Amino acid sequence: MRLDALRSPADLRTLGPEELRLLADDLRRRIVDTVGRTGGHLGSNLGAVELTIALHRVFESPRDAILWDTGHQTYVHKLLTGRDADFDGLRQPGGMSGYPSRAESSHDWIENSHASTVLSYAHGLATARAATGQPGRVVAVIGDGSMTGGMAFEGLNNLGHGGHRVTIVLNDNGRSYAPTVGRLSESLIRIRSNPTFMRRQRHLEDLAERLPWVGELVERGISATKAALREMFEPTAFFEALGVHYLGPFDGHDVAEVEDALTNAAEFDGPVVVHVLTQKGRGHAPAEQDPIKHMHDTGGVKPGSYTEAFTESLVKAAESRPEVVAITAAMPDSTGLLPFRDRFPDRCFDVGIAEQHAVTAAAGMAMGGLRPVVALYATFLSRAFDQANLDVGLHGLPVVFCLDRAGITGDDGASHHGVMDMVLLSKVPGMVVLAPSSYQELQQMFEDALAIDDRPVAIRWAKTAAPHVGWDEVGRGLEARRVRTGDGSVCLLGAGKMLAAAVAAAEELAADGIDATVWDPRCVRPLDAAMLDDAGWHRVVVTVEDGFREGGFGAGVLDALSQRAPDVRVSVLGVPVAHHAHGPADELLASFGLDGAGVAASVRDLLA
């Protein structure tokens, strides 16, 4: 049976080894072809083909809940659960999500994409099933990268304590985006690379299989010899010490081997880890060979992008300031840190997928006299809000947060839009929040941020290409910059990338005889008094931002003007507070009225 003949995961159980091999080939071809057109996470999915087949042969989804951590590796799961026909629309407007989606299928339990959550969901679901007597097993699939996140350790600890029957599949390919870092992953690597262990392990298992009392022994952790062997390797001891039984490692590209392991594990009365070794990009030479370019949807750093402006500024600052260090949460490539790491390997810290730890570690570094630059995607900073507020903010520590992918990000959907950073960070007392509108502006802001040594600064920018401007069109410090002087009727304030929409609106309005003033606020927090005074002289003030319209930049302007100039009409334009699906960023922004035409239309409505 080939992929197009497959009607449900149950059909998989009728297939023999050769048919399974052909099916795996079909799946890989389908994924390579589609992702070539749509973009997406290629390597992770190619590495999970056999594992996903085995999972669906052993477990009866959706009665047995298969939960995927992060969810970026679920293309095979989608294809095996009746979504082959829709797969062409992967990540396309109105089409299939790049992550599990409850609206798409009853086989998808979690709407995710932020890592390291699955063990907590699994504990919760298993607790509920035990409490209510519902049938069905709970299976949690988590990568070695996602295992580095604090929540994963919290979940594991609680699973061991709770003792519910949960099968945890540790999908270990040795990589996160970059190679996974951390003590546990080093131990996992030692296991992967120790042929003696692997050989003995296999031998013992062969032996065990031939013995009649094997089932019972498997349940108890098999033989003393094997247990002793395992003690040499920390992961076993690590999991077992937490009360979670460990089985493995197994070849994650051998369907039969993984099936056996999963079947054995499912019999175990308590939480059990099945450690499978897989290869990212498996079966597609370019993805196997180029670890960064083909393995993830990172896209690399585009020439002329805001990210590139940051990279340049960081390297330049680091040359003259030895105290400048950079921290990444497992994303050195897509946050633009690779050139810095190449130049200053001892000053670049990859802490794993651990944003909370990254921020508090930055606080510690700043206390010790370093100048840490924390490079994160805006969406992932939400995780570390408490740490930014108290561990950094309360101490007035000079940590520079560099937030990439701020605003509407596009193809990755609800969990990836950076729409909360201005809302959250503007509530941290003392925090400076900057939003550059051009390549050069970002460079200036980075320099200015390093000059502030008594409080944290955040600089947030969009994924897009950055406008390039002359140095005469760049502001300074925390000052706003007037871009256009109008006749006093309308004042437009466009934060960061949205300055372009404000300028476009002003040009459109000029054709109607409405002469608008435009400001580039630059500093979202604190707001520049000169800008507020000038805005207050206008009849109508319109703010434009690509974050949530409630509680962000515009809300701050509205509040300030309500005190300074109570008669002025203020309209706040921003992203409606909702979980917005994926789609091209500019189309989504236009649909919220956040392009030149939309802003101009709002102004006309206000003046009418």
Ligand X SMILES: Cc1ncc(C[n+]2csc(CCOP(=O)(O)OP(=O)(O)O)c2C)c(N)n1
Residue of 383, 463, 481, 497 marked active site: 383
Q: Nearest approach, Cβ of 359 to ligand X (angstroms)?
A: 12
Size of the site for ligand X (CB under 6 A): 24
- Which part of the chain contacts ligand X (CB under 6 A), choosing from 28-36, 85-93, 174-182, 497-505? 174-182
Residue 170 tokens, joined:
């540790």
- Which part of the chain contacts ligand X (CB under 6 A), choosing from 203-211, 327-335, 420-428, 449-457? 327-335
Q: Nearest approach, Cβ of 202 to ligand X (angstroms)?
A: 24
Residue 39 tokens, joined:
């973009």
Three-state secondary structure call for residue 284: coil
CB 190 within 8 A of CB 233: yes
The CA-atom distances, in angstroms, between 317 and each of 198, 416, 454, 505, 515 are 48, 29, 18, 36, 41
- Which part of the chain contacts ligand X (CB under 6 A), choosing from 57-65, 78-86, 138-146, 448-456? 138-146
* φ/ψ (deg, to 5) at 274: -110, 110
Minimum CB distance to ligand X smaller for 80 or for 115: 115
Alpha-carbon gap, residue 509 to 370, rounded angstroms: 49
Work out which of 176, 305, 382, 426 binds ligand X, going by CB under 6 A.
176
Q: Is 82 left (phi over 0), alpha (psi -120 to 50) or beta?
A: left
Q: Nearest approach, Cβ of 176 to ligand X (angstroms)?
A: 4
Three-state secondary structure call for residue 449: helix
CB 560 within 8 A of CB 461: no
| Nearest partner of 410 among 97, 105, 75, judged by Cα | 97
Residue 467 tokens, joined:
């406008």
Q: Nearest approach, Cβ of 389 to ligand X (angstroms)?
A: 18
Q: Which amino acid is at 357?
A: H
Three-state secondary structure call for residue 435: coil
- Which part of the chain contacts ligand X (CB under 6 A), choosing from 173-181, 304-312, 468-476, 512-520? 173-181
Question: Using CB atoms, what's the residue nearest to ligand X?
Answer: 143
Work out which of 166, 353, 375, 445 binds ligand X, going by CB under 6 A.
353
The CA-atom distances, in angstroms, between 302 and each of 41, 334, 463, 522 are 18, 10, 9, 23
- Which part of the chain contacts ligand X (CB under 6 A), choosing from 9-17, 69-77, 85-93, 441-449? 69-77
Q: Nearest approach, Cβ of 227 to ligand X (angstroms)?
A: 27
Alpha-carbon gap, residue 528 to 286, rounded angstroms: 50
Minimum CB distance to ligand X smaller for 144 or for 448: 144
**280 included as an active-site residue:** yes
- Which part of the chain contacts ligand X (CB under 6 A), choosing from 175-183, 390-398, 513-521, 526-534? 175-183
Residue 311 tokens, joined:
């990279």
Work out which of 81, 97, 173, 517 binds ligand X, going by CB under 6 A.
173
Work out which of 38, 44, 105, 311 binds ligand X, going by CB under 6 A.
44
CB 113 within 8 A of CB 72: yes
Partners of 519 in the β-ladder: 482, 493
Q: Is 515 left (phi over 0), alpha (psi -120 to 50) or beta?
A: beta
- Which part of the chain contacts ligand X (CB under 6 A), choosing from 328-336, 387-395, 510-518, 590-598? 328-336
* φ/ψ (deg, to 5) at 498: -75, -5
* φ/ψ (deg, to 5) at 67: -110, 130
Work out which of 26, 84, 108, 144 binds ligand X, going by CB under 6 A.
144
Work out which of 331, 374, 381, 503 binds ligand X, going by CB under 6 A.
331
246 belongs to the binding site for ligand X (CB under 6 A): no
Work out which of 99, 109, 340, 380 binds ligand X, going by CB under 6 A.
380
CB 28 within 8 A of CB 53: no
358 belongs to the binding site for ligand X (CB under 6 A): no
10 Å CB burial of residue 522 (0-12, 13-18, 19+) is buried
145 belongs to the binding site for ligand X (CB under 6 A): yes
Q: Nearest approach, Cβ of 243 to ligand X (angstroms)?
A: 23
**355 included as an active-site residue:** yes
Alpha-carbon gap, residue 173 to 519, rounded angstroms: 49
Instruction: Please state whether beta strands 523-525 and 540-548 pair in parallel, antiparallel, or not at all (unpaired).
Output: unpaired
Minimum CB distance to ligand X smaller for 117 or for 602: 117
426 belongs to the binding site for ligand X (CB under 6 A): no
Sign of the CA dihedral running 385, 391, 397, 400: negative
Q: Nearest approach, Cβ of 113 to ligand X (angstroms)?
A: 5
Minimum CB distance to ligand X smaller for 178 or for 594: 178
Give me the 250-289 binding string for ligand X, x by CB under 6 A, dash otherwise: ------------------------------x---------
10 Å CB burial of residue 39 (0-12, 13-18, 19+) is middle
With b meaning 16 or more CB within 10 Å and e meaning fewer, what string describes 375-390? bbbbbbbbbbbebbbe
Residue of 280, 341, 405, 525 marked active site: 280
Residue 546 tokens, joined:
């690509």
Minimum CB distance to ligand X smaller for 330 or for 518: 330
DSSP 552: S
Residue of 205, 259, 308, 355 marked active site: 355
Work out which of 38, 52, 70, 81 binds ligand X, going by CB under 6 A.
70
Minimum CB distance to ligand X smaller for 259 or for 355: 355
* φ/ψ (deg, to 5) at 117: -100, -15
Residues 74 to 133: which contact ligand X by CB under 6 A?
113-115
Work out which of 143, 271, 413, 456 binds ligand X, going by CB under 6 A.
143
Minimum CB distance to ligand X smaller for 127 or for 187: 187
Partners of 326 in the β-ladder: 348, 373
- Which part of the chain contacts ligand X (CB under 6 A), choosing from 171-179, 206-214, 261-269, 434-442? 171-179
146 belongs to the binding site for ligand X (CB under 6 A): yes
DSSP 528: P
328 belongs to the binding site for ligand X (CB under 6 A): no
72 belongs to the binding site for ligand X (CB under 6 A): yes
**316 included as an active-site residue:** no
10 Å CB burial of residue 544 (0-12, 13-18, 19+) is buried
52 belongs to the binding site for ligand X (CB under 6 A): no
329 belongs to the binding site for ligand X (CB under 6 A): yes
The residues of the shown chain that bind ligand X, judged by CB under 6 A, are 44, 70, 72-73, 113-115, 143-146, 171, 173, 175-177, 280, 329-331, 353, 355, 380, 383
Query: Active-site residues: which are they?
Result: 280, 355, 383
